[in-house]
A and B are shown apart, each in its own frame.
Chain A
Amino acid sequence: MEKDEAVIASECAEGDFRRFDALYGAYARKIYSFIYFRIHHREVAEDLTSLTFTKAVEHFSTFKPDAGSFSTWLYRIARNTLYDHYRVSKTVLELPETWEIASPERLEKQFDARQSLREVRKYLNELPQETRDIVIMRVWDDLSYAEISKIVGKSEAACKMSFLRAVQKLKAATLYAVLFFFFFQKLNI
């Protein structure tokens, strides 16, 4: 798809939208999810997704294949749309108390789902917004560091370091939680 995607995107940039459907089909869910992961509100996510694709259609002529992939261009539009929404609605990117987990069966048996959610939410919210964004992009959006760097406008190395520090922090917290768990298990509390 990547090679086709580049060709289709170039066509659309030149005004030939015959195959735009293919691009939309490949990215509709991804962009929606990208926005949902950060806003946790379905209706707003749908609105912002619609706005993202509308902007893409209206400004396709500004897409430069030499400057980057269609994917990073579209995600950048989505991210900017999201941040415009924050400015207008004066909301802050903060993960909610709880959310429905996509695949609860994947949780390790020794952790309660609700406990895991609380931990993750707590530690992700403690991260700087941009770092949190990078973590979500790598882990939930499954974007590569190269793509993340182009979307956030930082170097790949900087993005990797941000993610590393986030995992270090979460690792430390997890280690304490595990130790605490085993300690209190031993004490039978």
Chain B
Amino acid sequence: MTQHIDEIVEELCRIDPAFFEQKTLVRAVVAKLIAVKPDTKFDEAFARRLGAELKNKVAARNVPVGLNLNFMKKFNFAFGFALLALALGAGAYYYANSGEVPGFSARDTSFGGQAEITKLASKAFGSLAFAQNPVRSQSGGGGAAMLEGDSFTDQSAVFPAPAGLGGGGAGGGGMGIMPPYYGYKFVYKGDALELTDETVQVLRRQLGESSSRDLKNFLLANDFGLADFGSFSNLKLQSFNFTEDRDHGYSVMVNFADGSIAINEDWLRWPDAHLNCADQPCYDAGKIEIGEIPSDKDLIAIADDFLSRHGIATGDFGQPSVENFWRMQYEQSSSQTDFYPPETISVIYPLRILGQEVFDEAGNPFGMTISVNTRVRQVTGLWNLTTQRYQSSDYAAETDAGKIIKIAEAGGFRRNYPLEDSAGAKTLSLGTPDISLVKIYSWQDGVNQELLVPALVFPVVDAPGSADYYSPKNVVVPLAKELLDESVFIGPHPF
């Protein structure tokens, strides 16, 4: 304190040299002022409380628009998810020329709703023909669909499957695991094709981590006292997950790296009819009966209601349909009484972009999928709800209609169906195609690109409808020239 007094006195003397003569008195005055400084009664507990409040304010302030993480503490899932979906579902439909690659950010993300497309230079996605197709493990749940890394190639590219096989809804029964083998012959019976466009616009869905500094700061401000998250550099948030704390609650996974949201039943809070079964009679006793399976109309109504309750926009999805491959299996089953109807059945909402529906390489509709538990008649999962931000790039188009038809009659660009020119082969007629989009995966430089390529989707118009075999719904031929190169074909193979 003496130093403080001396300092002030010296300052005063410099301001007014006359103070030098009365330095002692000045010193006494200053000393008295300092001596009677009040005790502020500073409360450390108050300081800690305020510090904690400020921490929360900083965290709340740094949360991206529309993503109020505080709601998670209340587990108000319906309201909270509606906020999330509403905020994320607002998108703008526009074209912009940009040489840059916009990064993913929760601020301007469109999940479903209208697409955003940014145009890039021609052939910006590299070679479309060079595509490795790692097999994606099929599952009925969104959890499996959330596999990170390189597991998003449609399995149908290698082992084409009818809709529902291996996915949600496949049942079991006397027919065994593999459907019977039949050869096919395709014949085009549609209108003449005129292909005049020299280029086609290929779309690439944008992925990427959220590099939102706000979200990162929230995490750094809440290190839970266990580790110094600030010691890690260049942080990016890849995903987060929250669950409902209630019976029949859901678990929601938001994956920024993949640009998707998946919802699954929190299995810990959902009843399991076979939980305590230890023998076959127990399982048999709990088997759902064929008559208990909801109709397609009811299944779609259950799915629609779920989407509506949770504010999930469906504006850019086509008419939903039910994956009923299990019914074919039931019809073909050698013992229908022993057939186990599925406990979950999938409803697909086909994605529509630029007014065109999206198909997988096997010609099945591709889009948001919802699985419905047939026992309790509730939704148990939702997946393929993804960002709709794309980049576009022009590629040379195939204009030889004859070549296109030839490939279609060969079973499509992936030769999905086993061809057989024998008396036992089934002849299927292909109708006039629609221009749609086919989803392919292109593995380039260690990165899996999700591409949508304009394609002609030829419908099978006269499926025999026999209970002896399954009938493919469509045959797909993309319009990008380099995908029709002979060297790309995997070759015909038995199903």
Contacts and interface: CB of A to CB of B under 8 A. Distances in A.
A43 to B, nearest CB: 10
The 5 A-B pairs at the shortest CB distance, nearest first, are namely: A36-B40, A100-B39, A106-B35, A99-B38, A102-B39
5 contacts: A17-B221, A36-B38, A37-B38, A139-B33, A171-B29
A15 interface: yes
Interface string A1-27: 000000000000001111011001100
Given A37-B38, A174-B32, 14 more contacts: A17-B221, A21-B55, A33-B40, A36-B41, A37-B40, A46-B46, A53-B50, A58-B61, A101-B39, A102-B38, A108-B32, A138-B8, A139-B34, A170-B29
A19 B28 CA distance: 42
A148 B61 CA distance: 31
Contact of A28 (B29, B39, B51, B230): B51
Contacts, number: 137
B121 interface: no
Contact of B53 (A18, A50, A108, A145): A50
Interface stretch (B212-220, B272-280, B325-333): B212-220
B8 A145 contact: no
Contacts of B34: 106, 139-140
User: B-side binding surface: helix, strand, loop or mixed?
Assistant: helix
Contacts of B29: 167, 170-171, 174
Nearest to B22: A171
A40 interface: yes
In which size bucket is the chain B interface?
35 or more
Interface in B275-317: none
Interface residues of A, number: 55
B447 interface: no
Nearest to A139: B33
Contacts of A101: 35-39
Contacts of B26: 167, 171
User: A-side binding surface: helix, strand, loop or mixed?
Assistant: helix
Nearest to A163: B12
Contacts of A15: 62, 213-214, 217
B192 interface: no
B38 to A, nearest CB: 4
Nearest to B221: A17
A81 B282 CA distance: 72
Interface in B6-56: 8, 11-12, 15-16, 22, 25-26, 28-43, 46-47, 50-51, 53-55
A167 B51 contact: no
A142 B42 contact: no
A139 B33 CA distance: 7
A161 to B, nearest CB: 7
B58 interface: yes
Interface string A88-122: 00000000000111111011100101001101100
A57 B38 contact: no
A50 B50 contact: yes
B32 A16 contact: no
Contact of A16 (B11, B35, B213): B213
Contact of A20 (B43, B54, B213): B54
A32 B40 contact: yes
B54 A103 contact: no
B1 interface: yes
Interface in A47-83: 49-50, 53-54, 57-58
B57 interface: yes
Contacts of A107: 32, 35-36
Interface of A: 15-18, 20-21, 24-25, 28-29, 32-33, 36-37, 40, 42, 45-46, 49-50, 53-54, 57-58, 99-104, 106-108, 111, 113, 116-117, 119-120, 135, 138-140, 142, 145, 160-161, 163-164, 167, 170-171, 174-175, 178
Between B22, B31, B37, B41, the greatest number of chain A beta carbons within 10 A of the residue's beta carbon is seen for B37
B36 A17 contact: no
B403 interface: no
Between B38, B46, B217, the greatest number of chain A beta carbons within 10 A of the residue's beta carbon is seen for B38
A71 to B, nearest CB: 18
A44 to B, nearest CB: 12
Nearest to B55: A21
Given A116-B32, A167-B26, A29 B38 contact: no
Contacts of A16: 213, 217
Contact of B25 (A29, A57, A113, A175): A175
A100 B33 CA distance: 14
A155 B424 CA distance: 102
A139 B37 CA distance: 8
Nearest to B26: A171
B152 to A, nearest CB: 34
B4 interface: yes
A54 B61 CA distance: 11
B464 to A, nearest CB: 65
A171 B41 CA distance: 29
Nearest to A49: B50
Contacts of A37: 37-38, 40
Contact of A17 (B12, B38, B217): B217
